């Protein structure tokens, strides 16, 4: 059995061009296009792939309940799933996308990986994943 590890460091998730994790909350304005970049680094001794990375926004109600039904609140410009053929040892793969927040609130991004040929999720111990927190704010009023 070979051990495969894909790593996403704290500074490897960029929201609006800025690093974002559970300690650094990214802020954006409702209605603005929000660029998202996720960089994967293969820390195993073997090439890994094919697989897919999916970004799923949710709200955390702080009582153990997560709301993933946000179709009318957050939308992706393009796809929220990135298909990756292969990542060689010590190399990186960058997934670029964009989000559009339609309402204010605190949102989180769940980054999941699954086998490219099915929806089967890959083992969590293959990955080091940061938590991503985004605060969508009212647009600034013009002067």
Residue with tokens 């949102």: 107
| pLDDT, position 128 | 54
What DSSP string runs through 2-28? ----EE--GGGEEETTEE-SSSS-EEE
| pLDDT, position 76 | 93
| pLDDT, position 11 | 61
What six digits make up the tokens of 123? 């083992």
Q: Over the chain (143 residues), what is each successive 10-residue block's mean pLDDT?
A: 53 82 84 92 81 87 81 90 88 92 92 68 54 88 71
Domains in the chain (CATH in brackets) are 6-137 (2.60.40.10)
Residue with tokens 């998202």: 36
| pLDDT, position 125 | 47
């Amino acid at each position: 059995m070979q051990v495969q590890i894909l790593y996403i460091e704290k500074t490897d998730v960029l929201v609006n061009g800025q690093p974002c994790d559970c300690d650094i909350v990214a802020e954006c304005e409702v209605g603005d296009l929000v660029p998202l970049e996720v960089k994967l680094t293969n820390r195993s001794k073997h090439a890994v792939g094919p697989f897919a990375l999916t970004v799923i926004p949710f709200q955390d109600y702080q009582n153990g309940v997560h709301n993933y039904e946000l179709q009318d609140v957050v939308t992706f410009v393009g796809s929220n799933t990135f298909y990756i053929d292969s990542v060689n040892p010590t190399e990186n793969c960058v997934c670029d996308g964009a989000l559009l927040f339609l309402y204010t609130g605190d949102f989180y991004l769940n980054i999941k990986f699954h086998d490219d040929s099915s929806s089967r999720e890959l083992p969590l111990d293959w990955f080091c994943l940061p938590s991503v927190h985004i605060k969508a704010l009212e647009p600034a009023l013009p002067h």
